[in-house]
Structure 1
Amino acid sequence: MKIHHLSLLALLFSAGVAHAQQDAAAQTNLNALAAGAPAVVPRGTADGLKGSPYADNRWLLAQITLANNLPLAPVPLKYDVLDHRLLMRAPARPKDSLQLDDARVLQFVLNEPATPLSPARQRTFRRFAEAPAENHKRDYVEVLHQGRYTLLKHYLKKLNKANYQGAYSTDSHYDEIEDKSVYYLLTPDARLVPVKLALKPLQGAAPALAAALKTAADAQKPKTDAEWTAVFAAADPAPAK
């Protein structure tokens, strides 16, 4: 019995050491992706800045997947859509935003905490390999739903500078970041269809789901991205693994 007890202790100790080594390796790999200098975040000019450059303004804990499958420690992350970059907040420098070298990043998953109005959920962002424009293929696109059909959100932002001087001024005293995001439906035959998040356009893009979408939409009355995600989950459930 003593031999078995000692063997179990040795096994647990070895597992603990291996886990600690894996955690250390994950943090080392993450540190290697972070630039040394803090990133400059948009602050606006003139009388200020309206709008946001980020897909989500919050620092959300993220799991990052690299092309070489190296482990990475979870890290608070923001996706800066305007400047096409990922920003992280390192525990050792909690007041700094550090830019990740994301050349090897395939995808990241943001962990959104529960609120009084909605449950916790995970939000997957991957490269937009199917993008119709070549210069957008390295952008990240949010996968709102994935079943037979895939519902994608391509985040796009445009900066409009303040214009209150000169003969052609618009009397705008603020820099403004405009949201120009586009939704797409990827069909089973690999067609990428731009859509609006409304019942009729979605039914037109996915006629095979028309009846199921109407039933789910009538029941849920969707308005937000998360609510439309729930509609698609009901109308087009993901195949069993």
Structure 2
Amino acid sequence: MFLIPMNFRLLPLLGLLLTGATAHAQQGSQSGGVAAQANLNALVAGAPAVLPRGESYGLKGSPYADNRWLPALITLNTNTPLAPVPLKYDVLDHRLLMRTLARPKDSLQLDDRQVVRFVLQEPATPFGPARQRVFRRFSDAPLEKHRTDYVEVLHEGQYSLLKHYIKTLKKANYQGAYSTDQRYDEIEDKTVYYLRSAAGSLVPVKLALKPLQAAAPTLAAALKTAVAAKSPKTEADWADVLNTVDPSSAK
């Protein structure tokens, strides 16, 4: 089980401030790198973010989409260049945490109001090759409260397969006559997959043949053939099936 220390406190944030000197520094490759780092530093300020710790008996579960600090490329709606940065997506508290060169041991909250997407650079492991994991704003979410969340884009072609991470905190319950004797806080996970069409319709789906055929009728026959050939079981397997029957137009 993943256990982390916790104690909530809001971290004061500074907005993105770009001076004429910073814009000038973007000229040239070396100065451009300095400017990209300066732009990144402008997105964070204040004391380190304080992470969840839970009741005296601790916390069960993880607030993050991925527990690792992974290098990330961040895209702003202003297209301001940013240096790559170690990043975590804190799903529970709806925030992005980063580490800077100047403060490599501190978890700092990123002012993400202008962030439209980020790409995590996942290294190769014994279980698979290196890959890029794309996250974008869930601006087309069915529920307004989810529209500032991020979704992971597992496949993108005529259709997009989106993974929405949802985490909720279940507090310890061990006091009183009707308690369940649960002595720790627990973060509960829920994942919802969506298939988005080129027309913009968004359908919640399970990763199985019939739900995907219903959500993407134009791919129904090709899906049946690909599933018979590949026998998908995991999330990555289903993404591979969609990559086969619905290749990206960029390829």
In structure 1, C-alpha distance between the alignment counterparts of 2:97 and 2:171, rounded to whole Å: 23
1:202 corresponds, among 209, 212, 221, to 212
In structure 2, C-alpha distance between the alignment counterparts of 1:39 and 1:25, rounded to whole Å: 25
Does the alignment pair 1:123 with 2:133?
A: yes
In structure 2, C-alpha distance between the alignment counterparts of 1:219 and 1:162, rounded to whole Å: 47
Q: TM-score, normalised by structure 1?
A: 0.89
Q: Which is greater in Rg? A: 1
Gaps of 5+ in 1: 1-16
Does the alignment pair 1:38 with 2:48?
A: yes
1:227, distance to aligned residue in structure 2 (A): 2.3
1:82, distance to aligned residue in structure 2 (A): 0.4
Residue matched to 1:235: 245
Superposed, which structure 2 residues align to 1:74-153 within 5 Å? 74-153=84-163
1:37, distance to aligned residue in structure 2 (A): 1.1
In structure 2, C-alpha distance between the alignment counterparts of 1:197 and 1:44, rounded to whole Å: 34
Cα pair distance change 1:173/1:87, threshold 3 Å = same
Does the alignment pair 1:48 with 2:58?
A: yes
2:226 corresponds, among 213, 216, 226, to 216
State the Cα RMSD in Å. Answer: 1.5
In structure 1, C-alpha distance between the alignment counterparts of 2:209 and 2:226, rounded to whole Å: 10
In structure 2, C-alpha distance between the alignment counterparts of 1:172 and 1:189, rounded to whole Å: 47
1:207, distance to aligned residue in structure 2 (A): 1.9
Query: Relative to structure 2, which stretch is displaced further, 57-66 or 229-238?
Result: 229-238
- Helix, strand or coil for the counterpart of 2:195? strand
In structure 2, C-alpha distance between the alignment counterparts of 1:227 and 1:90, rounded to whole Å: 35
2:235 corresponds, among 220, 225, 234, to 225
Gaps of 5+ in 2: 1-26
User: Are the aligned partners of 1:46 and 1:175 in contact in 2 as well (CA < 8 Å)?
Assistant: no
In structure 2, C-alpha distance between the alignment counterparts of 1:128 and 1:67, rounded to whole Å: 14
Does the alignment pair 1:183 with 2:193?
A: yes
- Aligned length in residues: 225
In structure 2, C-alpha distance between the alignment counterparts of 1:124 and 1:96, rounded to whole Å: 24
Q: TM-score, normalised by structure 2?
A: 0.85
Does the alignment pair 1:164 with 2:171?
A: no
- Helix, strand or coil for the counterpart of 1:36? coil
User: Are the aligned partners of 1:195 and 1:205 in contact in 2 as well (CA < 8 Å)?
Assistant: yes
User: Are the aligned partners of 1:161 and 1:174 in contact in 2 as well (CA < 8 Å)?
Assistant: yes
- Helix, strand or coil for the counterpart of 2:220? helix
Deviations 1:42-90 (A, max 9, x none): 2222322111100111101000001111100000000000000000011
User: Are the aligned partners of 1:156 and 1:181 in contact in 2 as well (CA < 8 Å)?
Assistant: yes
User: Are the aligned partners of 1:216 and 1:235 in contact in 2 as well (CA < 8 Å)?
Assistant: yes
1:217, distance to aligned residue in structure 2 (A): 2.7
1:153, distance to aligned residue in structure 2 (A): 0.9
